[in-house]
Amino acid sequence: MTHIIAIATGKGGVGKTTLCSQLAHYLTRPSTSKRATKPVRVLCIDCAEQASLSFLLLPEYDTYEDMNLEIEDQDGSYMLLDGSDALPIPIKCNDTLDLIPTAMHDFRLSDCMGASNEDMTKARDKVQKIAKTRLYDYILIDTGPGRGRVQYAAMLMADHVLCPIRLENHSASAVAPLIKNLEAIDISFDKQYNLLGIVPMSYGLRESSDSHYIAEQLEAAYGDYLFKNGLPTSKAIMAFHRQRESIWTIRNTQAVRANMEKLGKEFLSRLKQWEKENARG
Ligand SMILES: Nc1ncnc2c1ncn2[C@@H]1O[C@H](COP(=O)(O)OP(=O)(O)O)[C@@H](O)[C@H]1O
Ligand SMILES: [Mg+2]
């Protein structure tokens, strides 16, 4: 079974792309176990016009311009939503991580803002087909800011939604519209969604004095949805954005790895919990 997760929120600059890329690297990190374990196969789908996930996962390109030149004629995430029957062919990032990219400012992805309900249903079927034929364990879909059709479609393609959040004033206000959108999907497409959780991002350093208060408010409002573990602000994450190399292979990233282990474990245990509940019906 493939777990398909969209990373979405109504706000920009919250950490969607960071969370998506870190989870992808976490799930495919080099194994430390002595026992031979089956490698985990992950597909990332970049559904954000900023293309920053594509850029992070394709470090062989020095600039966005270089990347665009190479990938703009290749299959991209727009092919999921263009209403055609064509399936995009993922790019191989490494042995276990693949990517359906987007080129920066790809007009074809912006055109998908006009996707009909049929196009969106088709997009979901296409992702299911890709999951089955290519045997992915996880598909992670990064989305752009705003609450457009493309983000809506990404949530429809997924079984779960992860919502990153900053512990700042008004950041909680991005969660309610997201939940509304998920409920709308439930009604319009008769599809059960699962909000896997709300993940606190970029906190700790130079913490605003009321961030504890905000965390308490979020806990009160969203209870169990709020992840116990998040991704605090760290220099290693900033370095990751600069160097575009996995924290599991860069040196001196033990602290952030330890955080990511905890966050990754919680992510997996929430998926397991959901599986258990769904098996019971
Ligand atoms: N835990 C973190 N530590 C340090 N920097 C972070 C962290 N999370 C996010 N950032 C920074 O915040 C910026 C916005 O994050 P990004 O993931 O691109 O947000 P979004 O995809 O929601 O627009 C990035 O430059 C990233 O380096
Ligand atoms: Mg982003």
Per-residue pLDDT tens for 229-248? Answer: 999 999 999 999 999 999 99
Q: How far is CA 8 from CA 17, 75, 178, 254, in A?
A: 9, 23, 8, 28
Atom of ligand 1 nearest to the CA of 13: 23
Q: Considering every ligand atom, which ligand is closest to the CA of 163?
A: 1
Q: What is the pTM of this model?
A: 0.96
Residue type, 195: L
Identify the nearest ligand to the CA of 199 by its number: 1
Pocket test for ligand 1, best of 16, 50, 202 (most atoms within 8 A of CB): 202
Tell whether ligand 1 has an atom less than 6 A from the beta carbon of residue 237: yes
Atom of ligand 1 minimally distant from the CA of 52: 18
**By C-alpha distance, which of 31, 32, 157 is closest to 95?**
31
Decide if domain 3-30+38-279 falls under CATH 1.10.1330.10: no
| Domain regions of the chain by residue span | 3-30+38-279
Model confidence at 12: pLDDT above 80:
yes
Q: Ligand nearest 21 Cα, by number? A: 1
Amino acid letter, residue 208: S
Q: Atom 13 of ligand 1 has which residue's CA nearest to it?
A: 13
Ligand 1 closest atom vs CA 20: 17
Stretch among 65-69, 78-82, 203-207 having the lowest mean pLDDT: 203-207
Q: Which two tokens stand for residue 189?
A: 């497409």
Nearest CA to ligand 1 atom 2: 233
What is the DSSP pairing of strand 97-100 with strand 91-92? antiparallel
CA of 110 to the centre of ligand 2 (A): 15
Query: Per residue in 82-114, pLDDT tens?
Result: 999 999 999 999 999 999 999 999 999 988 888
Query: Is the CB of 17 within 6 Å of ligand 1?
Result: yes
Say how many Å lie between the first and final Cα of the chain, rounded. 17
